[in-house]
Amino acid sequence: MMPRERTERLHIGCHLSSAKGFLHMGEEAHAIGADTFAFFTRNPRGGNAKPLDAVDAEALRDYMKRHHFAPIVAHAPYTLNLCSDREEIRDFARRTMADDLRRMLYLPGNYYNFHPGSHVKQGAETGIRLIAESLRELLSGLPEGGAPPPVTILLETMAGKGSEVGRSFEEIAEILDRAGADSRLGVCLDTCHVYDAGYDIAGDLDGVLREFDRVIGIGRLKALHVNDSRNPMGSRKDRHEKIGEGSLGLETFISIVRHPLLRHLPMILETPNELDGYRKEIQLLRECAGEEAEGAERSGF
């Protein structure tokens, strides 16, 4: 597949280990053809974080500037739940996120992504209220202003397993509205999650984006998790697959990486891969994005 000349580079990367520090992640991303990446702020299944190295954070900032990186996406631990039915769990999530956000101020202009949480049979309305209340509290401890803001908090779209909150654009929109429609809040759209939640991005990508724009506002969309799905649309299963090997299929991702409303956003692979597998997927999607650069301009609303 021979790419034609394109005017804008696709911003794509994958999750990387932070074990060897910030600069190492930047170098590792660049080595596999990425110009963005994601990392867990601490153990994804726990709450411990290693001491922050401000010099290392500055080295990454300089490296990203030299190599023209797009914003990177820090990811909160999976264990955090801002809408738990237990106050001590909600308090732990708030304290952990507040610490993460203070750390992100050493990497200004980037994103902090989290799963909204599970309402644990309290009902989605209660879950939405609890998440929004916590977000207002967290935002009160962050600097205001700036373009871009020092850190932008992203709510991730969810597949709808069990009592997950964020399974629909309406739930995400209500959280954002109740949190004050703050400019420091945005959305990370996960392709596997929204498909498993019932949004037909394979058959009608433009229609799904129109719905996103109507309910949330396309300006709130700041990043993508780019994953195929092992399950059919509407399954609410959340099982990621390698690009082109699941029910979404390669054609869906060709449409995504060429879409004028999406191709400028940081795209993070969370497919079941090791580093070399991610290298190959990054190369594949870059080729797909450049195959017909002018054709991308004909799609959209």
pLDDT per residue, tens digit, the chain (301 aa), is 333 334 478 999 999 999 999 999 999 999 999 999 999 999 877 677 889 999 999 999 999 999 999 999 999 999 999 999 999 999 999 999 999 999 999 999 999 999 999 999 999 999 999 999 999 999 999 988 777 789 999 999 999 888 999 999 999 999 999 999 899 999 999 999 999 999 999 999 999 999 999 999 999 999 999 999 999 999 998 999 999 999 999 999 999 999 999 999 999 999 999 999 999 999 999 999 984 433 334 344 4
- Kindly indicate whether the domain formed by 12-291 is annotated with CATH number 3.30.420.40: no
Please indicate, yes or no, whether the overall pTM of this predicted structure exceeds 0.75. yes
Instruction: Please give the pLDDT value at position 3.
Output: 35
The two structure tokens encoding residue 44: 């994804």
- d(C-alpha 149, C-alpha 218), whole Å: 18
Sign of CA dihedral 105, 106, 112, 117: negative
Residue 190 annotated to the active site:
yes
Instruction: Please give the pLDDT value at position 43.
Output: 83
Instruction: Please give the pLDDT value at position 295.
Output: 34
Residue 45 annotated to the active site:
yes
From 190, 196, 228, 281, active-site residue:
190
Residue 270 annotated to the active site:
yes
Residue 30 annotated to the active site:
no
Residue 68 annotated to the active site:
no
Sorted by where each begins, the domain ranges of the chain are 12-291
**Residue 97: closest CA among 148, 154, 145:** 154
Spell out the alpha helix ranges (H) of the chain. 22-31, 54-66, 87-104, 124-140, 169-178, 191-197, 205-215, 250-258, 275-290, 293-296
Residue 78 annotated to the active site:
yes
From 11, 15, 61, 75, active-site residue:
75
